[in-house]
C-alpha cells in the first residue's frame, strides 16, 4: 500500500478512504465490524465519519456511525492502525449546530466518547458557518490540537472563497490551518471542484478527500433506467440527478473501459478519480464484503492515458 500525505498535516493515508455513513444505518454492527476488519487487514488505514451520521434515518439521533466505529475500536484494539476522521457542524437538533467555540468543545468531547478514543486524527468542519468568525472557529481548533484531542483539521462543503479566507486567517493568526478539503467530486460532478477548488488546493498544498466517489452508486452501473429506482434508499435521488443523457454517456464509457481492463465500472470510476491532480483519497462506502473487495481492487487499478482521456471526454460538461 502506497500511502499519501494528507496536505501538510504529517498524516499518511491510504489512497482510498472508507466512508462510514452506512454504519448504523444500512449496515448493522456485526457487518460493520467485519467490514472494518477487512479494510484494515487489506492494508488501508483511512476511515471517515461524522457526528451527524445517521440522523436522517427514522428514529436516529445522530452519532450512530461514530458509536459503531467506537465499539469496533474498543473490541479490535486496532486504533493505532487507522487514521480516524470525523466532522462537526451539521444540525444535530436542539440547537446543536455550527462552528462556534462552545459548541465545538461540547461536540468534540461527544465524538471522542462515542469513538472510544483519546484523539481524533482529522477533525473537519462539516459545513461552512458564515455566522461565526473564522478567528473563533480556528482558534478553538488550535486549542484542541494543543490539548491533544485533535491532530489536524479539515474543511468540508466549503466554497473556494471561504476556504481561501480560512487559510489566510490561519496564516495571519499563526494557528493550524485546514489541511484537507472534502468536496463533492466524481466523474459526473466535476465542474465546481475542477474550476474553483482544485487550483486553490494545489497552490496551497491542501489534501482532497472527495465524497460521493461513486455518485451514490450510479457509477457502478446499478441504475440505468427509472425502473431501477427501488434498488436502494438512494435510488430516487440518483434517478433525479444522474439518469440523463450525460449520465448514460458516462456509463457507456465506463462499460467500455471496464471491459478492456476486465474490471467493474465502479472500479474504473474510482481509479479515474485517484489519478486526477490534487486528489488524495476518494471516499467510498460499502455495505457488504463483496462491495468492499471491489474497493480494495479499485485502489490498485492503474488506467492508461487513453482510458483516462476517454473518460474525461465522455464526462465533460457542456460549455
Active site residues: 53
Q: How far apart are CA 80 and CA 83, in angstroms?
A: 8
Amino acid at each position: 500500500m502506497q500511502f499519501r500525505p494528507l496536505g501538510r498535516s504529517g498524516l499518511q493515508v491510504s489512497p482510498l478512504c472508507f466512508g462510514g455513513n452506512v454504519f448504523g444505518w444500512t449496515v448493522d454492527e456485526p457487518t460493520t465490524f467485519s467490514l472494518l476488519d477487512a479494510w484494515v487487514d487489506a492494508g488501508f488505514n483511512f476511515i471517515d465519519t461524522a457526528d451527524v451520521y445517521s440522523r436522517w434515518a427514522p428514529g436516529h439521533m445522530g452519532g450512530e456511525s461514530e458509536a459503531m466505529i467506537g465499539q469496533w475500536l474498543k473490541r479490535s484494539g486496532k486504533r493505532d492502525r487507522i487514521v480516524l476522521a470525523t466532522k462537526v457542524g451539521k444540525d444535530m437538533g436542539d440547537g446543536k449546530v455550527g462552528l462556534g467555540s462552545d459548541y465545538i468543545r461540547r461536540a468534540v468531547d461527544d465524538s471522542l466518547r462515542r469513538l472510544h478514543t483519546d484523539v481524533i486524527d482529522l477533525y473537519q468542519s462539516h459545513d461552512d458557518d458564515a455566522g461565526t468568525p473564522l478567528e473563533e472557529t480556528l482558534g478553538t481548533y488550535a486549542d484542541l490540537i494543543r490539548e491533544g484531542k485533535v491532530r489536524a483539521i479539515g474543511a468540508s462543503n466549503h466554497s473556494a472563497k471561504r476556504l481561501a479566507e480560512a487559510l489566510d486567517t490561519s496564516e495571519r493568526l499563526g494557528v493550524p490551518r485546514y489541511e484537507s478539503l472534502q468536496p463533492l467530486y466524481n466523474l459526473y460532478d466535476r465542474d465546481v471542484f475542477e474550476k474553483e477548488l482544485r487550483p486553490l488546493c494545489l497552490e496551497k498544498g491542501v489534501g482532497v478527500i472527495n465524497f460521493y466517489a461513486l455518485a451514490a452508486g450510479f457509477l457502478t452501473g446499478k441504475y440505468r433506467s427509472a425502473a431501477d429506482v427501488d434498488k436502494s434508499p438512494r435510488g430516487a435521488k440518483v434517478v433525479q440527478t444522474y439518469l440523463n443523457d450525460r449520465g448514460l454517456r458516462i456509463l457507456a464509457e465506463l462499460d467500455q473501459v471496464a471491459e478492456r481492463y476486465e474490471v467493474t465500472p465502479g472500479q474504473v470510476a474510482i481509479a479515474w478519480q485517484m489519478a486526477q491532480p490534487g486528489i488524495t483519497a476518494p471516499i467510498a462506502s460499502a455495505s457488504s464484503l463483496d462491495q468492499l473487495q471491489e474497493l480494495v481492487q479499485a485502489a490498485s487499478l492503474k488506467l492508461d492515458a487513453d482510458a483516462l482521456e476517454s473518460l474525461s471526454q465522455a464526462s465533460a460538461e457542456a460549455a
